[in-house]
Chains A and B, each alone.
Chain A
Amino acid sequence: MHVRSRRVIPFAIAAMSLAVSGAYAAGFTAEQATAGKTAYDSNCAQCHGFKLEGPEAPGLVGMDVMQNWDSAAGLYDFISVAMPPSAPGMLGEDAYLNIVSYIMSFNGAQPGETPMSADPDLLASISLPAETSAGAAAAAAAAPAVTATDAAAAGGLNPTPPVNQAFTFGKQLPGGAAPAAASAAPAAPGVPQAFTFGKQLPTAAN
Chain B
Amino acid sequence: MRRAPKDTAESVRKISRRGLFLGGVQLAFAGALGLRMQHLQVDQADEFRLLAEENRINIRLIPPTRGQIFDRNGIIIAGNEPSYRITMVKEDAGNVDEVITRLSALVELDEDELNRALTEMQRSAPFLPVTVAERVTWDDISRVAVNAPALPGVTPEVGLSRSYPRRGDFAHVVGYVGPVSERDLARYEIPDPVLRIPRFQIGKVGIEARHEEVLRGRAGAKRVEVNAVGRVMRELDRREGTPGADMQLTVDTKLQSYINARLGEESASVVVMDVTNGDLLGIASSPSYDPNKFVRGISVSDFGELRENDHRPLASKTVQDAYPPGSTFKMVTVLAALDAGVVAPDETVWCPGHMEVAGRRFHCWKRAGHGHMNLEQSLRESCDVYYYDLALKVGIERIAETARRLGLGEAFSIGMSAVTEGLVPNKEWKERERGSGWVIGDTVNASIGQGFVLSSPLQLAVMTARLATGKEVTPRLVRRIGDTETVEGVGNDLGFNENHLRQIRRAMFAVSNNRRGTAYGSRIIDETFRMAGKTGTSQVRNITAAERARGVTRNEDLPWNRRDHALFVNYAPYEAPKIAVSVVVEHGGGGSAAAAPIARDVTLQALYGNDPPLDAYPSKDRERIRSQQERLQQVLRENDPDGRSRA
The finding on whether chains A and B are genuine partners in a shared complex, rather than unrelated, reads no
Residue positions of A touching B, CB distance < 8 A: none
